[in-house]
Structure 1
Amino acid sequence: MKKITVLFGNYGSGKTELSLNFALALAEKSRSVALVDLDIVNPYFRSSEHAEMLEGRGIRVIAPVFANTAVDVPSLPPDVYAAFGYEYAVFDCGGDPVGAAALGGLKQRFDAMRDDVEALFVVNTRRPFQDSVENLEESLRRIEGRARLNADGLALNTNLGPESTGDELAEGYELAQELAVRTGGPLRCVSGTSEARAAFEARCPGCAAERIELRIYTRPDWLA
């Protein structure tokens, strides 16, 4: 995994759960990990129970509060820039205009170290308006434009939350492949619970993308 991992996607894509798992996995091999929450619409890391859990694992949680989220490009507080001083940093960026624009405020930093940055668009084809390759590409291009950062690849995370049967991940694979062809960004990883991954392996044994087993840390009725 590169020094900087950026995960962005629409509301309900599961990017926050994926960010959480990425950071925890990194913390197992490094004592220098930061997790930056730029998800303005769904400010998950304002929940103290999870921040305490992360910090207990040695992860620095940076959850900036923006003074005025109505502005086109919100100013970033200094603690966000502190993330670049860690060995690894994971950025959880929402698909909302303010969150994506906040990420865009880091363009110069990302450009200066582009080889050490990997930006992934999280795909959940079971969310509203994400059930076609055209809609997925429109969402991706919109977020890229606001964030001023192009996706290096895709992270497939199709699920229905607590109602998932495991088949959803395999069903989303075809659309993710189509999106990869259209955008030129390869499918980097497939993430899901152990049950979802088992169903995926049975139906899509030829997939070459990295497999990531998710542990669910959020309450059952929550969608990132």
Structure 2
Amino acid sequence: MYIRNYTSKDIYIADLDVVNPYFRSREHSSYLEEKNIKVIGSYLPQSGADIPAVSAEVYSIFERKEIIGIIDMGGNSAGSLSFASFRNNVDIDETDVFFVFNANRKENSTFELALGHLIDIEAVLGLKVTGIINNTHLMNDTSLDDIEKGEIIAYNLSKEKNIPIKYTCVDRKFYQNNSKILTKYDLFVIDYDIKNKI
């Protein structure tokens, strides 16, 4: 939705995430398409069906230079496996790969674990991460300490891999209650819409 505010181009979202149970863009396809954002998902029409098969329409993201394409590959290397068949179609010069992490998830709970996670994803994708996004939260139980924990890990990842930090994300409700929050990196206020709590 953020990108839609800044462009009139067609936007395609390819939902290749067959692992993450918390958020699936294909389950919000009706709402997104009302905003002229096309969602490409699995072959099956059932929104909750998780199978490692996605529509051939995904190729259009790489073939049509006049559109903006976004690919959701899930939050770990297993979720990135579904991207393998499209790897050779990627124009590296026109592609950003963002490592969006939540330091309250086990696989990202320390710098060492998050670094290993990032490296695993790069290896599976055959692409280098170009930006880091701190999305550390505990839903309604998020604290300022959670945000700071994520920023410390983001800083160390950035330093180790020489990758820029793009944003620190916070929920809109959290921001309304902590409007004077100071973050080390650009603040990105979002509306969490997640299937289940962590």
TM-score normalised by length of structure 2: 0.81
Instruction: Determine the C-alpha separation between the residues in 2 that align with 1:210 and 1:203.
Output: 10
Q: What's the counterpart of residue 158 of structure 1?
A: 136
Amino acid at match of 1:26: I
Q: Given the alignment of the two structures, is residue 138 of structure 1 paired with residue 124 of structure 2, yes or no?
A: no
Residue 2 of structure 2, aligned match among 22, 25, 43: 25
* Structure 1 unmatched runs, 5+: 1-23
CA-based RMSD of the aligned residues comes to 2.7
Q: Given the alignment of the two structures, is residue 109 of structure 1 paired with residue 89 of structure 2, yes or no?
A: yes
Deviation at 1:200, TM superposition (A): 8.9
TM-score normalised by length of structure 1: 0.72
Amino acid at match of 1:213: V
Instruction: Determine the C-alpha separation between the residues in 2 that align with 1:158 and 1:188.
Output: 14
Deviation at 1:117, TM superposition (A): 0.9
Q: Given the alignment of the two structures, is residue 90 of structure 1 paired with residue 80 of structure 2, yes or no?
A: no
Amino acid at match of 2:87: K
Identity %: 21
* Structure 2 unmatched runs, 5+: 45-49
Aligned length: 187
Deviation at 1:194, TM superposition (A): 3.6
- Confirm or deny: 8 A CA contact 2:20 2:79 kept in the other structure: no
Q: What's the counterpart of residue 53 of structure 1?
A: 31
Q: Given the alignment of the two structures, is residue 210 of structure 1 paired with residue 190 of structure 2, yes or no?
A: no
Instruction: Determine the C-alpha separation between the residues in 2 that align with 1:54 and 1:120.
Output: 21
Q: What's the counterpart of residue 39 of structure 1?
A: 17
Instruction: Determine the C-alpha separation between the residues in 2 that align with 1:164 and 1:68.
Output: 32
- Confirm or deny: 8 A CA contact 2:18 2:51 kept in the other structure: no
Q: What's the counterpart of residue 107 of structure 2?
A: 129
1:169 aligns to what SS in structure 2? helix
User: In the superposition, relative to structure 1, how do residues 202 and 68 fare at CA in structure 2: closer, same or farther (>3 Å)?
Assistant: closer
Deviates most, 78-87 or 52-61? 78-87
Deviation at 1:131, TM superposition (A): 1.5
Q: What's the counterpart of residue 191 of structure 1?
A: 169
Q: Given the alignment of the two structures, is residue 99 of structure 1 paired with residue 79 of structure 2, yes or no?
A: yes
User: In the superposition, relative to structure 1, how do residues 93 and 186 fare at CA in structure 2: closer, same or farther (>3 Å)?
Assistant: same
- Confirm or deny: 8 A CA contact 2:42 2:51 kept in the other structure: no
Instruction: Determine the C-alpha separation between the residues in 1 that align with 2:76 and 2:117.
Output: 10
User: In the superposition, relative to structure 1, how do residues 162 and 68 fare at CA in structure 2: closer, same or farther (>3 Å)?
Assistant: closer
Q: What's the counterpart of residue 97 of structure 2?
A: 119
